A and B are shown apart, each in its own frame.
Chain A
């Protein structure tokens, strides 16, 4: 009786379809990708059931973490313009390189007097630079007030738009610190703003 011969098949698989799918997914991820912004405030936002998405453009954000205030504006050209304005207001002249560095800094929390040192720190040593937070008080002329005010001016000048304001607070932050930021906004007649929260599943409405 002849032995049954098992036909030897090639081990190679047709990869074309798999390759197509892989690149399709890759394209999707590249197009939707937004790199994580390195936030020095390390604020863990409180959960809420609100579903409104946060705008990606024309936004300024005050982050509150560890009793320190941090500030960020989404537009690069606005950032550069604001630093120039703040430099003249606080008598700190900045070089074009420093302005360039600043326009690439997403979030910062340093007072004006140590801003130059912050911008002159090489990028690889920036992790060790202790950001002490932007000084703020209840007067009409503190640094946080001016950052917000001059950002709005610059936005109006460069894009003729209004900046949307948002507050990103750490959930364990005490209320006086939040109130300080809100009063800074109220003083320049900003009464509408967003509180950034994480998503929590909503309970069923009765």
Chain B
């Protein structure tokens, strides 16, 4: 691939001996090879998909300040069970039988959207947003927790908290075979 000498040489018959004009073109093939090799190396070693973060704010349990009373009818509780199943109920525990549901668009997301609509329709204007309590059981996985928190941001629910599970909810999960 080297540059061909196209200057023609010429005969030096009788005339002055002239020094041959050297071509200024440099063979770049090797340099390009090296550059692409390095590009390939850097492309493979860099992390292109940077991990993303999900902000989580836990309730401050150190100060016992006066807490705002919240209507039970506006509260939805999600209990995370095993085998990627959840239980949810509206209002106070034990008063309404919980519904067993799955994750994803047809499961808990649909329930969240439907319940939020019901809450918005049955309550007066400033206080008609739904609040969600997440009760993860000991048999649920980290994936379940993140999926549930993710549903909060998908369904635009701004008031939610991760709370310790109640013993009666554990019994209920056992009864439904998801603990």
Cβ contact within 8 Å between A22 and B52 = no
Asked if B31 and A197 sit within 8 Å, CB to CB, the answer is: no
Known: A30-B42, A176-B138. A50 touches B57 (CB 8 A): no
Which of B28, B140, B144 neighbours the largest number of chain A CB atoms within 10 Å of its CB? B28
User: B39 near A54 (CB under 8 angstroms)?
Assistant: no
Q: B62: which A residues are within 8 A, CB to CB?
A: 186, 189
Highest count of chain B CB atoms <10 Å: which of A25, A33, A175:
A175
* Selected A-B contacts with CB under 8 Å, 5 pairs: A10-B3, A53-B53, A170-B142, A191-B58, A197-B52
Judging by beta carbons under 8 Å apart, are B58 and A182 in contact? yes
The chain B residues found within 8 Å of chain A, CB to CB, are: 1-4, 6, 27-29, 31-32, 35-36, 38-39, 42-43, 45-47, 49-62, 80, 105, 113, 136-147, 149-150, 153-154, 156, 162
Task: Assess whether A26 is in contact with B39, with CB atoms less than 8 Å apart.
Answer: yes
Assess the A194–B56 pair: CB atoms within 8 A: yes
Residues facing B in A17-62 (CB within 8 A) are: 18-19, 22-23, 25-26, 29-30, 32-36, 45-54
The interface residues of chain B lying within 8 Å CB-to-CB of A182 are 58, 162
Interface of A is mostly: mixed
Nearest CB of chain B from residue A170's CB, rounded to whole Å: 7
Main secondary structure of the interface of B (DSSP, over half): mixed
Binds B, one of A77-85, A108-116, A150-158, A198-206: A198-206
Residues of chain A within 8 A (CB-CB) of B1 are 11-12
CB distance from A171 to the nearest CB of B (A): 4
CB of A174 within 8 A of chain B? Answer: yes
A149 contacts chain B at the CB level, 8 A cutoff: no
Interface residues of A in 183-198 (CB under 8 A from B): 185-186, 189, 191-198
Point out which of B45, B56, B59 has the most chain A C-beta atoms below 10 A from its C-beta.
Answer: B56
A12 x B3 contact (CB < 8 A): yes
A24 to chain B, nearest CB (A): 9
Distance of A29 Cα from B36 Cα, bound (Å): 11
Complex: A177 Cα to B55 Cα, angstroms: 19
- A166: chain B residues within 8 A (beta carbon): 53
